[in-house]
Structure 1
Amino acid sequence: MKPIQYLLTAAAMLLPGLAMAQANASPAAETTDDPPESSVEQGQTPLDEAFGPRDRAAWIRETRRKAWEDTTFDVQARTFYLDRDKYDNSESTAWALGGSAGFKTGYFRERVALGATGYTSQRLYGPDDKDGTLLLKPGQEGYTVLGEVYGDVLLNDDTHLKLGRFGIDTPYVNRNDARMTPNTFQALTVQGLYGGENGAPEWRVGGGYFDKIKERNADDFVSMAKDAGAPDWVKRGVYTLGANYKQGNASAGAIYYHSNDIISIFYTEGKYAFPLGDSSKLTFALQYSDQDSAGDNLLRGEEFSARQWGGKAELGYKGALFTTGYTRASGGTNMQNPWSGYPGYTSVQVEDFNRNGEGAWLLRAAYAFESVKGLSLYALYVDGSDPDALTEYAKDEYNLNAQWAVAEGALKGLTLRVRYAHVTQKDPQSTDLDDLRLLIYYDPPSL
């Protein structure tokens, strides 16, 4: 049986009762004039969503629960098929089945909570000579790992201290949850979320030390320095400190990462939104990243420097969102993203468009259907220029994405997603790359 037939068979097994559930659902989906929320790519974290949960009210409610009776259990099932035909005509293909199961207690004495999450990804299909999808361990091997074990200390109603192994989201250190399992980190962090109620300014503040990382397709934790590319004997972590301020339709922030003798990264971003009526909004955003070698230059054995700036404009109208963006990298070497999805505005499904000397334009259109609640589509195009390196070439990328997140009924929590990317490299042979991804997530409400 061919891989795609296996996938369709699994989909049929994972979706029992779909027709019946839809028949029992409300006959007419609710209409909305709200545009899609953003054009942020899967695996990325904007600065104004860093340092804590995105829903502040839910966070505060959670901190007031009693410990045992408010312990929650979260289970998610995933299946993911990825097939990539690369520039050199080699192929990476795998189909995996897995997911996660975890819990978090309430706060003992209204101060300390405990949590843990286990992850697994097992091979359903994956020829040994088609490795490299990052759905499985190298060698097309399945894995199971206890990715989170942590304590969460509530210093006050708005400030958390977290210690152990857990996931976190900031622009350059984040879960990058775009495969079967996310990045998680061995770390100590302090995060605060202040204000933001009744029109008051909102401050998000965070800092900490990240000692180790478990990569997306790994079952062990390694030094942050090793994961960045330093020799195995180098043991260095990453210190980080940042803040974001939001008032009304404006936000601005900055964050700094430093790994002794490895790399320093500074990132800043600002946004402003102009309401254009009850159902439309125009948003402008600017970003800047600066990366430099640090200390004894143990990452590359020599000094390096790189930077990238970018701008983005988004127009939301009812169910549609139109985006245009531009980025430009410079400084002498390519930008790096060793511990996360890359935050650049032109970083898309396959390419990051962050090579030294490379400029890139992005055009994107998205639509959330009113007639089918939870169904959305987007298409985008990125036109990249030649980087400075003579052995590298300009690239263009097209993406198509269709997603249906079941919002109600017996299958609430089920998400179906199809992603396709085509990349053309403007080398003398005009080589190209095709990337197809089929995803099914089932994330039922917490128990």
Structure 2
Amino acid sequence: MSKYSFLTHRALKRHRPWGGAPCLWRLGCTLMLVGLSVGDPAHAQPEAVSPPTSSVEQGQTPLDEAFSGRPRRTPAAQAAGVTPSGTKMYWDLRTMYLGRQNYDGSQTESLATGGWAGVKTDYFLDHFSFGATGYTSQKLHGDPDKDGALLLGRGQHGYEVLGELYADVKVIEGLNLTVGRKEYDTPFINRNDSRLTPNTFEAISLMGGTKVGSKGASLRYGLGYVDSIKERNSDEFVSMSVDAGAEVERGVIAAGGLYKQGGFSLGALDYYCPDIVNIGFAEAKMEFPMGGWLTPRLALQFIDQRSVGDDLLLNSGDNGQQYGIKAELPVGQALFTAAYTNINGDMGMISPWAGYPGYTSVQVEDFNRAGEAAWMLRAAYEFKEIKGLSTYALWVHGTAPDQPGKHGRDEYNFNLQWSAPAGVLKGLSFRLRYALVEERAAATDELTDLRLICNYAINF
């Protein structure tokens, strides 16, 4: 087997929580999952986040959202830096259809309903809190010969899993220690929440933050050891190195920090998996207020990946780098974005534990193959006439990679979304995503990808 191939979730140490046995969890969730998605909006992937505030793709985590520990709080409280008090319960129900015509003419198709429900307690003795979340995905339609949409488990089977079970210890104000199964969001270890349920991890982490100076600046930081991952369409936790494609068990040590002041931020993270890979990530963002409505934004990104130790995944000496730049221009109800990425070195980028964070990574392709460069143009618009209705379209042009026999690609995406703005339906959203990918070859191959998503998010 090639050292670059990604293993399926077999062999080596595994955990099978709730082992697929029928239970009240399956019955209750199946009755409730009628096409909606619940939970605190801060907990769910930004299904209900309206453009044109951001051009971040679903499944990605920008660095300025890392180190938060994803507290259960409303967007308003999150913006104000308010920590929630009291025990919080949340439900996240989601129904999704994914149909894909692959490059080779084969088809992938699934329709499933799922989501999660959980609780996060208040701090006992002002220091100790506990959280638990159960996840499920249940089949509505899906032929076994059209598997691969990642909405259901292998073979188009439903699943349920206790994905979060953790203790949160407030060491001091602004510094928390978390132990157990939990969701995390950083650029290369995150929920990748673009299907029915997200990735979760077994880890121990220390995260904190503090104000710097008197001008509103802040410093956030984190340090952790991540032992295993539950992939988004799985009910099993496997070693991080096995999930990456190696045949040995290794965890990941991650550490980094982020400085923010106003519209400027600068941060870096490093992920070290012994004998497997080392990933370094750095990003800077800045705003340029020009008076009135004009405030252009600029972001710069650098990624370095290389084989380490006994080279049990990559070839000895393999390394690769990505350079990226993104510019955003908000204009009234619209947001215009242009981005460029370039992959150097003798290997393409890998992202086995997360959605890939590159600026030109979109609905289908990541444009991160060795030697590949990509340009993206994107336009988003939020309608005034129909509150909560927004749309965007984008085009990515990728060059041919270094690997012989591989071709350049163009991807076109269209997204239409409505999110209930207020009232009893607040938290409900409907979303349509469509992608067309063309390979520039003598005999043109195309891929199409259609996704329909219904969510409903509630916390109490």
1:177 maps onto 2:198 in alignment: no
Cα distance, 1:408 vs. partner? Answer: 0.7
How far apart are the structure 2 equivalents of 1:254 and 1:271? 12
Q: CA deviation at 1:202?
A: 1.1
Q: Which residue of 2 aligns with 1:330?
A: 344
Alignment counterpart, residue 383 of structure 1, candidates 392, 397, 411:
397
Q: Which residue in the other structure is 2:417 paired with?
A: 403
**Which of 190, 204, 210 pairs up with 2:220?**
204
- The equivalent residue for 1:366 is 380
Alpha-carbon deviation of 1:301?
5.2
The one-letter amino acid of 1:247's match is Q
Pair 1:89 & 2:105 matched: yes
CA distance in 2 between counterparts of 1:249 and 1:412 reads 29
1:225 to 229, 233, 241: 241
1:193 offset after TM fit, Å? 2.1
From 118, 137, 148, the counterpart of 2:164:
148
Distance 1:253 1:193 in 2: 13
Does residue 194 (structure 1) correspond to residue 246 (structure 2)? The answer is: no
Match of 1:25 in 2: none
Residue 349 of structure 1 aligns with which residue?
363
In the TM superposition, 1:35-434 aligns within 5 A as 36-52=52-68, 53=70, 58=78, 61-62=82-83, 65=85, 70-195=86-211, 199-231=215-247, 234-300=248-314, 302-434=316-448
Q: Tell me if the contact between 2:51 and 2:390 (Cα under 8 Å) persists in the aligned partners.
A: no
Match for 1:361: what amino acid?
Answer: W
CA distance in 2, matches of 1:322, 1:332: 33
SS of the aligned residue for 1:62 comes to: coil
Q: Deviation at 1:250?
A: 1.2
3-state SS of paired residue (1:227): helix
46-55 or 285-294, which deviates more: 46-55
Per-residue deviation, 1:198: 7.3
Q: Distance in 2 between matches of 1:304 and 1:56?
A: 45
Match of 2:376, SS state, is: strand
* Gap change, CA 1:196 and 1:404, over 3 Å in 2: farther
The amino acid of 1:294's aligned partner reads V
C-alpha separation between the residues in 1 aligned to 2:321 and 2:401? 14
Distance in 2 of aligned mates of 1:381 and 1:229: 31
Instruction: Give the counterpart letter for 2:425 in structure 1.
Output: L
Aligned to 1:24: none
Change (3 A) 1:395 1:56: same
Amino acid at match of 2:304: D
Q: Distance in 2 between matches of 1:378 and 1:56?
A: 25
Indicate how the Cα distance of structure 1 residues 386 and 274 shifts in structure 2: closer, same or farther if over 3 A, else same: same
| Structure 2 gap ranges (5+) | 1-30, 37-49
The CA deviation at 1:182 is 0.3
Shift in Å at residue 373 of structure 1? 1.9
- Identify if the C-alpha distance between structure 1 residues 417 and 56 changes in structure 2 by more than 3 Å, giving closer, same or farther: closer
How much does 1:411 deviate? 1.1
Matched AA of 2:295: K
3-state SS in 1 of match to 2:370: coil
3-state SS of paired residue (2:145): helix
Is the Cα contact below 8 Å between 2:307 and 2:315 reproduced in 1?
A: no
The superposition leaves residues 234-268 of structure 1 with CA deviations (integer Å, 9 ceiling, x where unpaired) of: 11000011011111221111110000000000000
Task: Name the CA distance, whole Å, in 1 between partners of 2:212 and 2:294.
Answer: 23
Whether contact under 8 Å (2:427, 2:457) holds in the other structure is yes
Check 1:322–1:61 CA distance in 2 against 1; reply closer, same or farther (3 A cut): closer
Does the CA contact (< 8 Å) of 2:246 and 2:313 recur in 1?
Answer: yes
Query: What is the alpha-carbon distance in structure 1 between the residues aligned to residue 347 and residue 81 of structure 2?
Result: 44
Once residues 434 and 119 of structure 2 are traced to their aligned partners in structure 1, the CA distance between those partners, rounded to angstroms, is 34
Shifted more, 47-56 versus 432-441: the winner is: 47-56
Conserved? CA contact 1:77–1:442, under 8 Å: yes
- What SS is found at the alignment partner of 1:410? helix
Match of 1:18 in 2: none
Moved more, 242-251 or 165-174: 242-251
Instruction: Give the conservation status (yes or no) of the 8 Å contact 1:307–1:330.
Output: yes
Q: Offset at 1:412? A: 1.1
Cα distance in 2 for partners of 1:238, 1:98 equals 29
User: Secondary structure at the residue paired with 1:42?
Assistant: coil
Distance 2:288 2:384 in 1: 24
Give the letter aligned to residue 372 of structure 2.
E
Change (3 A) 1:141 1:299: same
Provide, for residues 297-348 of structure 1, a one-character-per-residue CA deviation record: whole Å limited to 9, x for no partner: 1113544111110101000112110000000001111110010000100000
Aligned positions, number = 411
Q: Which amino acid aligns with 2:224?
A: G
| Structure 1 length-normalised TM | 0.89
Q: RMSD of the TM alignment (CA)?
A: 2.0
Q: Is the 8 A contact 1:183 1:216 kept in 2?
A: yes
Corresponding residue SS for 2:123: coil
* Contact 2:287/2:296 (<8 A) preserved: yes
Residue 368 of structure 2 aligns with an amino acid whose one-letter code is N
| Distance of 1:360 and 1:382 partners within structure 2 | 7
